[in-house]
Every structure is written in structure tokens, then in C-alpha cells.
Amino acid sequence: MKKLLGIVILSLISILLISCGEKKSQIKLEKVLLFGDSLMSGYGLPEKDHLSVILEKSLKSEGYETQVFNGSVSGNTSLDGLNRIEDELLDESYDLIIIGLGANDMLRRINPNQTKQNLDKIINIILDNNIKVILAGMVASPTNGLSYKKEFDKIYPDLSKKFEIELIPFLLKGVALNPNFNQDDGLHPNEKGVLIIAETIKKSIFNFL
């Protein structure tokens, strides 16, 4: 009886493992687009240290044959992203787009409601094309005022909840304000900072695989 029960349990475990493997294999992750600003574009760094290159290597080390495309433009605001997202989707058929916009909106003190509307429209366009989305969040500096910070910081969790998409609460977690992980300007990640950001993004990707 115990032997029979053991066989049944092993059979159930095997079925579960096979089912999980099938589910994972059905999720395509061949082409990923980083759609952001200078924090994602590789600003100030040689191409070998660009986030797209580092993230692609990291994913391949996990067994994924993934191409990561750099669709980020230094200086872009959320409105700039909205103005170019449709053209970006004409070039490739992406499986996943990671949005990393809003930092320049914050630096220019653009109304958080406008930033939220722009990101809302970008997400809608991407989802309408049956592409998965990860939203990389930012947080406002207290120097912008507590009222502004409160409204800005709500943008990303609100949109994540509305669209039921994966959220990275803060793209620069563990990197921001740390001189060891930033370039001399104190704003843009250096090669060490990029490694941390790539790991943050990879963990987020694995959350929905």
C-alpha cells in the first residue's frame, strides 16, 4: 500500500513538473525592447556596458535565446516616448517591452497628471499590439516638493494596477545616490550600476514567466 501511494505521489509530481515546463515554454521571450531614456540607453558608457547588452548576456546565461533591443533615447520625456512608440513597433515584433520613462518629466517638473496620461497611452498602444509590458518606476526627489513627489510617485503603481502589468517599483534601487554605482554626474549608472539594474529587470521578467 505504501509503495503504491509512493508511486502515485511521484506520478503527480511528474505531471506538475511537466505542466510547469510546458507553461514556461509557451511564453516567448525572443525579442525584448528597452523603451526609456538615458537611464536605459547606455549614456556615457561604451556599447559593451549598455544595459541592453548586459541584460541580453544575463538572460542567455539563464538559457534564454533572447535579443534585447535598445530603444531608449537620452533626454526623452514620456511625451517623446508617446510620439515615437508606434514607429518603434513597426521595426520588430517584440514579445516584451520594458518602459522606463518619467525621470526627465520629473527633472523638468512636468505635471504628474500629464506624465501619467502619456504613459497610459503608451501602455495601451503596446498592449493593443499583444505585447507584454513591464513598467519600470521612478521616484521624485524631495527637492521638487512633497506635494509633487506624492503625485509623481503614485503614477507607476496606479498604472500597474490599472493594466495588471508587472511593476519594478524603482528602476534605480540600490544604485541611486551611490557614488560607487554612478558616473561623475551622480545621475547616470556606471558599468557597476548597470549590472545591478540588469539584475533588477531580470528578476522582474522571471516574475511573469
- Phi then psi dihedrals of residue 132, to 5 deg: -75, 155
**Pairing label, strands 31-36, 67-70:** parallel
Which pLDDT belongs to residue 126? 98
Report pLDDT for 208: 76
Read off the pLDDT band of 3 (50, 70, 90).
low
Is residue 188 among the annotated active site residues?
yes
pLDDT at 151: 98
Query: Which one is the CATH code of 30-208: 3.40.50.1110, 2.30.38.10, 1.10.760.10, 3.30.70.330?
Result: 3.40.50.1110
DSSP helix/strand/coil, 109: coil
pLDDT value for 1 = 54
Give yes or no: 52 in active site: no
On the question of pLDDT at 140 being above 80, the answer is yes
C-alpha cell at 21: 515546463
DSSP secondary structure code for residue 60 in this structure: H
| 14 counts as catalytic | no
d(CA 36, CA 58): 19
* Residue 5 in this model has a pLDDT that exceeds 60: no
For residue 95, which phi and psi values (nearest 5 degrees)? -95, -30
DSSP 8-state secondary structure symbol assigned to residue 99: E
If DSSP codes are grouped into helix, strand and coil, which group holds residue 104? helix
Could you tell me what percent of the chain has a pLDDT over 70? 87
User: Which one of 38, 52, 78, 160 is the catalytic residue?
Assistant: 38
Q: What is the pLDDT of residues 61-103, one digit of tens each?
A: 999 999 999 999 999 999 999 999 999 999 899 999 999 999 9
Say whether pLDDT at 149 is over 50: yes
Give the cell for residue 186. Answer: 551622480
User: Which of 17-21, 155-159, 173-177, 189-193 is predicted with the least confidence, judged by mean pLDDT?
Assistant: 17-21
Cβ–Cβ < 8 Å for 205, 134: yes
User: Domain boundaries in the chain?
Assistant: 30-208
Strand ranges in 71-190 using DSSP code E only, listed in sequence order: 96-100, 132-136, 166-168
C-alpha cell at 7: 508511486
pLDDT at 21 over 50: no
How much is the average pLDDT of 157-175? 98
Examine the pLDDT at 29 and tell me if it is beyond 70: yes
Answer whether residue 142 shows pLDDT above 50.
Answer: yes
Active-site residue, selected from the candidate residues 41, 58, 105, 188: 188
Q: What is the pLDDT averaged over residues 10-37?
A: 65
Share the mean pLDDT of the chain: 91
Residue 22 to residue 111: CA distance in whole angstroms: 45
Query: Residue 172 — very low, low, confident or very high, per pLDDT cuts 50/70/90?
Result: very high
